[in-house]
């Protein structure tokens, strides 16, 4: 029977889900599945799906559930997810959570939810100070992850840009979408029996947050009590 682990990283935009997923995927040997990254790749490739979702993403709204569900379903079946996977930015609506719950139960995948808690004022400051390399996608902030040379990518020297959806007015829309459509997902997952942990996502270095998450899920999967 398959009992590969799944870590659901949950929290508002800018709470550090992507940063934590990148730190944890090495330590835990799990695949990193980011729906935001997958959608941005499709937009950059200019394919039909990418063209259909570009406007929604730019305005801070949510992409339709069927599109995202299909993408995640396919991604979970890839060989690199066979030993477990980290979900970053999914599920984001109760409809997505219902489908995920079905997939997890059918495939006997055990899941733990980690909710990264960050004050909205901190989020607005973080995202509006964020810069991205238009070439390789690397993300920087004013601190603690500022580039060696101001406004220039450490990896390939490109001039950094502000991600389209990190403009302050779009950040406010993303937070609204989170409050109305995503926050209820946590209650759904709790009600469905998944262990849910709150983790403070500000006021300390990302590495310290990652260590806390590692300890939590280490205990959870060792105890055999994760939802299957």
**Residues binding ligand ADP (CB under 6 A):** 13-14, 35-36, 39, 56-57, 60-63, 68, 89-90, 92, 96, 165, 174
92 labelled catalytic: yes
Phi, psi of 200 (to 5 degrees): -70, 120
* Nearer of residues 97 and 109 to ligand ADP, judged by Cβ: 97
For the question of residue 219 being annotated catalytic, the response is: no
Q: Which is nearer to ligand ADP, 68 or 118 (CB)?
A: 68
| Of residues 44 and 149, the one with the C-beta less far from ligand ADP | 44
Catalytic one of 4, 22, 98, 163: 163
Residues in the chain: 228
Residue 190 a catalytic site member: no
Can you point out the beta strands (E) in 68-211? 85-88, 110-117, 131-132, 139-140, 196-200
Answer for the pair 213, 24: CB distance below 8 angstroms, yes or no: yes
Residue number closest to ligand ADP, CB atom? 36
Of the pair 127, 153, the CB lying nearest ligand ADP is at: 127
Strand residues in the chain grouped as ranges (E):
5-10, 31-34, 85-88, 110-117, 131-132, 139-140, 196-200
Which residue in 110, 126, 131, 174 is the catalytic one? 174
Residue 131: active-site member = no
Tokens of 11: 């929290």
Distance linking the first and last C-alpha atoms of the chain: 11
**Closest approach of ligand ADP to the CB of residue 222, in Å:** 29
Catalytic residue among 40, 75, 92, 126: 92
For 126, the token pair is: 């973080």
Q: How far is the CB of 156 from ligand ADP (least distance, A)?
A: 21
User: Which residue among 25, 40, 110, 130 is the active-site one?
Assistant: 130
- 102-118 exposure pattern, b = at least 16 Cβ within 10 A, e = fewer: ebbeeeebbbbbbbbeb
Catalytic residues, by residue number, are 17, 92, 130, 163, 174
């Amino acid at each position: 029977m398959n009992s590969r682990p799944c870590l659901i990283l949950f929290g508002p935009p800018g709470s550090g889900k992507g940063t934590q997923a990148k730190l944890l995927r090495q330590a835990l040997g799990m695949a990193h599945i980011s729906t935001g990254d997958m959608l941005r790749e499709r937009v950059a490739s200019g394919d039909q799906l990418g063209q259909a979702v570009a406007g929604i993403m730019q305005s801070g709204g949510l992409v339709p559930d069927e599109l995202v569900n299909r993408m995640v379903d396919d991604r979970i079946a890839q060989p690199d997810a066979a030993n477990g996977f980290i979900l970053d930015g999914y599920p984001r609506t109760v409809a997505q959570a219902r489908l995920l719950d079905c997939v997890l139960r059918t495939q006997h995948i055990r899941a733990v939810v980690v909710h990264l808690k960050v004050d909205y004022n901190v989020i607005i400051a973080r995202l509006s100070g964020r810069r991205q390399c238009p070439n390789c996608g690397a993300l920087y902030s004013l601190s603690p992850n500022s580039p060696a040379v101001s406004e220039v990518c450490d990896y390939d020297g490109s001039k950094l840009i502000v991600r389209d959806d990190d403009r302050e007015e779009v950040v406010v829309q993303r937070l609204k979408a989170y409050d109305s459509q995503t926050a209820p997902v946590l209650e759904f997952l709790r009600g469905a029996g998944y262990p849910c942990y709150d983790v403070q996502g500000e006021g300390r270095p990302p590495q310290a947050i990652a260590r806390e998450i590692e300890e939590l899920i280490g205990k959870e999967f060792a105890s055999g009590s994760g939802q299957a």
